[in-house]
Chain A
Amino acid sequence: MNAVTKNKTTNLVMDLGRRWALIFLLIELIFFSFFAKGFMSLRVFQMIFFFGITVFLLGTAELFVIITGGIDLSVGYVMGFASIISAKMISAFVHGGMHPFPALILGIVLTLLIGLLPGLINGLLISKLRVPPFIATFSMLGISHGVAELLLLNGAAKDLPHLANLIGNGYFLYWAPGPGLSFFVRPEIPRGGFIIELIPNIVVLAFVVIGILAFVLKRTVFGQHTYAIGGNVDAAIRSGINVGRHKVKIYMLSSFLASLAGVIYVLMYVTGKGDAGAASLLDAIAAVVIGGASLYGGKGTVWRTILGALIIAVLETGLRVMGIPTFDKYIIVGVILISAVLIDKVFPEKTYTDNKE
Chain B
Amino acid sequence: MTHVVSETIQENRKLAFIARNWAAFFLLGFLILFSFTGKGFLSVTNFQNVGHLAVIAILMASAETFVIITSGIDLSIGFVMGFASVTAGKIIQVLYAAGEGMSPGISIGIGIVIVLILSLIPGLVSGILIARYKVPPFIATMGMWGITNGIALKICKGFPVATLPEDLTRIGNGYLIYFKSGEGISFFGLPPGVGNESIREYIRLIPNSFIFIALILLVLWHLLRNTTFGQHTYAIGGNEEAAVRAGIDVKRHLIKIYVLSSFIAGLAGIFNVFQTGIGNFTPFGAMYELFAVAAVVIGGASLMGGKGRIFGSVVGVFLIAFLENGLLISGVVPFYRFIAVGLLLIIAVVIDQLFPDLL
Q: Name the residue on B nearest A125 (C-beta).
A: B346
Report which of B129, B142, B303 forms a contact with A132, defined as CB distance below 8 A: B303
Q: List 7 A-B contacts (CB under 8 A).
A: A125-B346, A129-B350, A132-B303, A142-B345, A149-B335, A334-B143, A338-B129
Determine whether the beta carbon of A331 is less than 8 Å from that of B303: no
Residues 259-296 of chain A: 1 if any B CB is under 8 Å from the residue's CB, otherwise 0?
00000000000000001001100100110010000011
Q: Name the residue on A nearest B344 (C-beta).
A: A139
Knowing A73-B290, A334-B150 touch, does A131 contact B349 (C-beta < 8 A)? yes
Q: With both chains docked as a complex, state the minimum distance between the C-beta of A58 and any C-beta of chain B, in angstroms.
A: 14
Q: With both chains docked as a complex, state the minimum distance between the C-beta of B115 and any C-beta of chain A, in angstroms.
A: 19
Which residues does chain B contribute within 8 Å of A141, judged by CB atoms?
290, 342
Q: With both chains docked as a complex, state the minimum distance between the C-beta of B246 and any C-beta of chain A, in angstroms.
A: 25
Knowing A143-B339, A150-B336, A328-B150 touch, does A135 contact B133 (C-beta < 8 A)? no
Q: Name the residue on B nearest A333 (C-beta).
A: B146
Q: With both chains docked as a complex, state the minimum distance between the C-beta of A49 and any C-beta of chain B, in angstroms.
A: 23
CA distance A156 to B254 in the complex (A): 48
**A136 at the binding interface (Cβ < 8 Å):** yes
Determine whether the beta carbon of A131 is less than 8 Å from that of B350: yes
Q: With both chains docked as a complex, state the minimum distance between the C-beta of B213 and any C-beta of chain A, in angstroms.
A: 25
Q: With both chains docked as a complex, state the minimum distance between the C-beta of A272 and any C-beta of chain B, in angstroms.
A: 15
Report which of A140, A146, A289 forms a contact with B335, defined as CB distance below 8 A: A146
Which residues does chain A contribute within 8 Å of B151, judged by CB atoms?
331
Q: Name the residue on B nearest A275 (C-beta).
A: B285
Contacts from B to A (Cβ < 8 Å): 73, 129, 133-136, 138-140, 142-147, 149-151, 153-154, 157-158, 284-285, 290, 293-294, 297, 303-304, 333, 335-343, 345-346, 349-350, 353
Give me the 9 closest cross-chain CB pairs, A-B, nearest first. A334-B146, A331-B150, A142-B342, A330-B150, A146-B338, A139-B342, A146-B339, A334-B147, A338-B143
**A25 at the binding interface (Cβ < 8 Å):** no
Determine whether the beta carbon of B138 is less than 8 Å from that of A136: no
- Extra contacts, 16 of them, besides A328-B154, A334-B142, A338-B143 (Cβ < 8 A), are A129-B346, A129-B350, A130-B353, A134-B293, A141-B290, A150-B333, A282-B145, A296-B136, A330-B146, A331-B147, A331-B151, A331-B154, A334-B149, A337-B143, A341-B140, A342-B133
Within 8 A of B (CB), among A318-348: 325, 327-335, 337-338, 341-342, 345
Q: Name the residue on B nearest A327 (C-beta).
A: B153
Q: Name the residue on A nearest B153 (C-beta).
A: A327
CA distance A339 to B341 in the complex (A): 35
Q: With both chains docked as a complex, state the minimum distance between the C-beta of B126 and any C-beta of chain A, in angstroms.
A: 9
Determine whether the beta carbon of B153 is less than 8 Å from that of A146: no
Q: With both chains docked as a complex, state the minimum distance between the C-beta of B312 and any C-beta of chain A, in angstroms.
A: 15
Which residues does chain B contribute within 8 Å of A286, judged by CB atoms?
142, 146
CA distance A286 to B349 in the complex (A): 28
Q: Name the residue on A nearest B334 (C-beta).
A: A149
Determine whether the beta carbon of B144 is less than 8 Å from that of A334: yes
Which residues does chain A contribute within 8 Å of B144, judged by CB atoms?
334, 338
Contacts from A to B (Cβ < 8 Å): 71, 73, 125, 129-132, 134-136, 138-143, 145-147, 149-150, 153, 275, 278-279, 282, 285-286, 289, 295-296, 325, 327-335, 337-338, 341-342, 345
Report which of B142, B158, B340, B346 forms a contact with A285, defined as CB distance below 8 A: B142
Report which of B135, B157, B338 forms a contact with A142, defined as CB distance below 8 A: B338
Which residues does chain A contribute within 8 Å of B297, judged by CB atoms?
135
Which residues does chain B contribute within 8 Å of A328, judged by CB atoms?
150, 154
Among A289, A330, A335, max chain B CB count under 10 A is at A330
Knowing A278-B284, A337-B139 touch, does A146 contact B337 (C-beta < 8 A)? yes
Determine whether the beta carbon of A330 is less than 8 Å from that of B149: yes
CA distance A146 to B338 in the complex (A): 5
Knowing A282-B145, A342-B133 touch, does A327 contact B285 (C-beta < 8 A)? no
Knowing A129-B353, A132-B349, A139-B343 touch, does A282 contact B335 (C-beta < 8 A)? no
Q: With both chains docked as a complex, state the minimum distance between the C-beta of A324 and any C-beta of chain B, in angstroms.
A: 10
CA distance A131 to B298 in the complex (A): 13
Which residues does chain A contribute within 8 Å of B158, judged by CB atoms?
325, 327
Which residues does chain A contribute within 8 Å of B336, judged by CB atoms?
146, 150
Q: With both chains docked as a complex, state the minimum distance between the C-beta of A326 and any C-beta of chain B, in angstroms.
A: 9
Which residues does chain A contribute within 8 Å of B147, judged by CB atoms?
330-331, 334-335
CA distance A135 to B129 in the complex (A): 24
